[in-house]
Every structure is written in structure tokens, then in C-alpha cells.
Structure 1
Amino acid sequence: MKIRAIITGATGMVGEGVLHECLLSPDVEQVLVINRKPGGVSHPKLREIVHTNVFDLTPIASQLTGYNACFFCLGVSSVGMDEAEYRRLTYDLTLRVAELLAQLNPDMTFGYVSGSGTDSSEQGRIGWARVKGATENALMQLPFKKAYMFRPGFMKPTPGLRNVKSYYKFIAWLYPIGRALYPAGFSTLQELALAMIKSVTLGYEKPILEVNDIVALAKR
């Protein structure tokens, strides 16, 4: 199966890493990125739509058909944000996009970048974890061919990309130690990207992938 993927959040660190691996992968034949500002990446496989209002993609809906994968990497930090606003920018935004894509592309596999510690019960004490859990649960109810929730923990960035945060160079020493002592919490951004790609071509035996699942699928 050749992948025709839509990627959101490609101007952020995670989305840029996923885009990078998609452009390298022989399994991916076409990539569409939806950005709020130009991403500055040029490649024969790549097409970009600059659209500022991600809450409403209906004006560009006719350009979103014919894709069999979406890698949803758009997200915000909950730091300093009240739960209502975080929910609007996480649950509401993600579902608005996903519902439209499910309608336009019923054969689509939807991959959502969530996070380690997400609360599937939606009842825990941590606000962001409840919101992420609600988002995952709602996505898995949509009529996609498949929907996978990826829960990375600490991720080692892909070297050479533009969005590698400066502070990573100061904590890079932590990664090999953490991976050795607590492999369930540490992966690379490349492993996440490869796992997302392989979820489309190979599938996976469960819809929620923790760090160990991400690493295992990336190696297949």
C-alpha cells in the first residue's frame, strides 16, 4: 500500500520530524501539509496548503480528498493554560478536523500524537490528561478505517531539523541513560514517525500505543 498522507502541525518539532520521515519513506508517495504559515519545505512529494483557521477546513475541503492517512501532530502545551482553553485547542480542534476528514476519506487511517500519561478514564486529577483521554476516546469512535493513538514520552529529536529546541542539547546526555534504565519512557522522534507510517502499511494489534509499542512497531 502506498500512503497518501495529510500532516497537521508540520511546523512544530514533532510534525517536522514526522514530515521528514514521510518524505524519506518509499511507502509514502504523497504528502499534504496544512499549515497556518508557510513551512519552508520543498520536495517533489510535498504539497502545502496555508490556511489560518484550522477550526474550519470547509473552505479547503475539496483539496482534502483522496488521502488514506492523517498524521495529526498539531498540539499545544497545557502550561499556563486553563482547562477550558486547553480543551478548546486540543479536543475541539482535533475533533473538528478529524470529523471532516472521516467524512471525506472513509478509507483513512488516522494517527493522533497524544502523550504518555493520558487518562483514558477522563476522571483523573490531571487536567491535560483528562482532555487528551477524551480526545483519544472520541477519535476512536469516528468512522475511520483505523485510528491509532500514539503516546510518546521523552523523545530524542531528529538531528538537523529546524525545530530542535535549544534546550535539548543541554539534556541530550539524559536520553541514553533514560533509555537504558526506563525504556518504557524514552524513544526517538524518528521511531514515532516510523511507527506512524507503519501503522498505515502494517497495522497494529491495539489502538493505543505506549512508548514500548511505538518502538516495537518502528522496528517491524
Structure 2
Amino acid sequence: MRIIITGATGMVGEGVLMACLQEPEITEILSVSRKPLQQSHPKLKEYLVSDFLDLDLGDPHLKGYDACFYCAGVSSLGMSEVDYSRITYDTTLHFAKALGPNPGMSFMYISGKGTDSTEKGSSMWARVKGKTENDLMKLPFKQAFGYRVGVLTPMPGQKHVLKYYSYLSWLIPLFNFLSSSLVCSLKEVAQSMIYLAKHGHPEHVIHVNEIKLLAKTHQGGA
């Protein structure tokens, strides 16, 4: 399997990349990002793009891949809806179209728990994420999936971990105890994405419990 990963210089993308590098069925990974990764691996290639909105539709660097794990994104904190939409919606949709959507490729998009599929709720970020999910699913991919992740635990040895995780990590076992639908690991995210790219799924919105189940199924070799 040959995959594209975006956002590998951030926490989510880095964790997904590290997990995918450990998977024997992944033969090639193309990291598309603004900054170099400062790491090397026989499976890993890099394509540096200063602004995804500048990508040409049908960019030849993005051809021939089986799936895209889109992990790039920003927090909406302190941002206007216009600015947040440009990064979250416009950039994501343009990147997806630059891939040349086709029935041989799957697209996995990290959205978030609470994303609003109706696009009409009071939460700005949830509306924008919902519209992004909805419009990705209209493109002619094999399938496009919205990943409604909650609290994410990093891969061992990650460099790009959000600062507040060092203060909240002791709470993660409590979150797990209170609800299994709150927490999953970035390894589980990556493994579930690989499974979906191979086998598909009847649902396009993937929640935490499903991420865990799909990852376990992948580990079992299904």
C-alpha cells in the first residue's frame, strides 16, 4: 500500500506517520507538508509545499497512491470564521481535488468529536468541520471518511506533542474509565485508517469506538 500523509510536523500527523512506518504492508509514504520532517526512512518521501492552495489540480507528485491520511489542521481558538474556513475547508478541499479523486483512492480526514454534520449549529469550528466532511464525501474517491477523534494518546518517542498533554496525561486513564468513546491512541487511528483503505466501511463518519474496533480487527489480520 502506498499512502500520502499531511500534517506530519504536527502531533496527529507525526503519530500516524510513525505508526504507518511500522506497518509491513505500507511500502511507501509521501509526507506533504510546509516544513521538512528532519527524519529519514526507506519508505518515506517528502514533498514540501508552502501553501496547499497553490497545488495544481492533478499534481503529478500526488499520483499513484492508494489513500490519503489528511492530518493537517489548526485550532479555531482566536480565529475568525473566514480565516478558519480558509485553512480548514478551502485548503482541505483543494488538496483533495489536487489528488485527482478516483475510485482507487480513499481519503481519511481528521475532524473531531462534536463535528456538526448539519452545518447549522452554534459552534463555528464544528460547522466548518462538518461542511468539510460533507463536501469531501461528495468527491469521487473510493470512500472518504471523517474521523471524529477525541483525546489522542501519542506514539512513544513523538517530538511534536501538544504542551498541555504533559499536564493532562495523568487524566487519560480516568477518561478511559469514564467513557471508552473519549480516548484512543494515534497508533489505533493509523491502523484503522489502513484497514478502511483496504476494506472500506458502510459508514463514512468514524467515531472513537469504531476506531478502536477497526484497529483491533487490523491487528488480527482481517
- On whether the aligned pair clears a TM of 0.5, the verdict is yes
Q: Which runs of 5+ in 1 are unaligned?
A: none
Q: What residue number does 1:13 align with?
A: 11
Give the letter for the 1:170 counterpart.
Y
Distance 2:139 2:49 in 1: 24
The question of whether the paired residues in 1 share the 8 Å contact of 2:57 and 2:99 is answered with: no
Give the letter for the 1:53 counterpart.
D
Q: Secondary structure at the match of 1:71?
A: strand
Give the letter for the 2:135 counterpart.
A
Q: Could you tell me how far 1:106 is from its partner in structure 2?
A: 4.1
Between the two proteins, the alignment pairs up a number of residues equal to 217
Q: Secondary structure at the match of 1:134?
A: helix
Distance 2:212 2:115 in 1: 18
Please, which moves more after superposition, 58-67 or 19-28? 58-67
Among 128, 135, 153, the alignment partner of 1:156 is 153
2:46 is aligned with 1:48: yes
Q: Which runs of 5+ in 2 are unaligned?
A: 218-222
Please, which moves more after superposition, 169-178 or 85-94? 169-178
Q: Could you tell me how far 1:59 is from its partner in structure 2?
A: 8.6
Q: Secondary structure at the match of 1:198?
A: helix
> Between the two proteins, what is the percent identity of the paired residues?
49
TM-score normalised by structure 2 residue count: 0.94
Give the letter for the 1:24 counterpart.
Q
Q: Could you tell me how far 1:125 is from its partner in structure 2?
A: 0.5
Q: Could you tell me how far 1:171 is from its partner in structure 2?
A: 1.1
Q: What residue number does 1:124 align with?
A: 121
Q: What residue number does 1:77 align with?
A: 75
Among 10, 25, 28, the alignment partner of 1:27 is 25
Give the letter for the 2:157 counterpart.
G
Q: Secondary structure at the match of 1:49?
A: strand
Runs of 4+ in 1 over 4 A off after TM superposition: none
Among 86, 91, 108, the alignment partner of 1:88 is 86
The question of whether the paired residues in 2 share the 8 Å contact of 1:151 and 1:209 is answered with: yes
Q: Secondary structure at the match of 2:52?
A: coil
Give the letter for the 1:211 counterpart.
V
RMSD (CA atoms): 1.4
Distance 1:59 1:145, change over 3 A: closer
Q: What residue number does 1:197 align with?
A: 194
Among 173, 178, 181, the alignment partner of 1:181 is 178
Please, which moves more after superposition, 185-194 or 24-33? 185-194
Distance 1:40 1:197 in 2: 24
Q: Could you tell me how far 1:154 is from its partner in structure 2?
A: 0.9
Distance 2:35 2:15 in 1: 17
Q: Could you tell me how far 1:165 is from its partner in structure 2?
A: 2.6
The question of whether the paired residues in 2 share the 8 Å contact of 1:158 and 1:164 is answered with: no
Q: Could you tell me how far 1:158 is from its partner in structure 2?
A: 1.6
Give the letter for the 1:93 counterpart.
T
Among 190, 203, 213, the alignment partner of 1:206 is 203
Q: What residue number does 1:113 align with?
A: 110
TM-score normalised by structure 1 residue count: 0.95
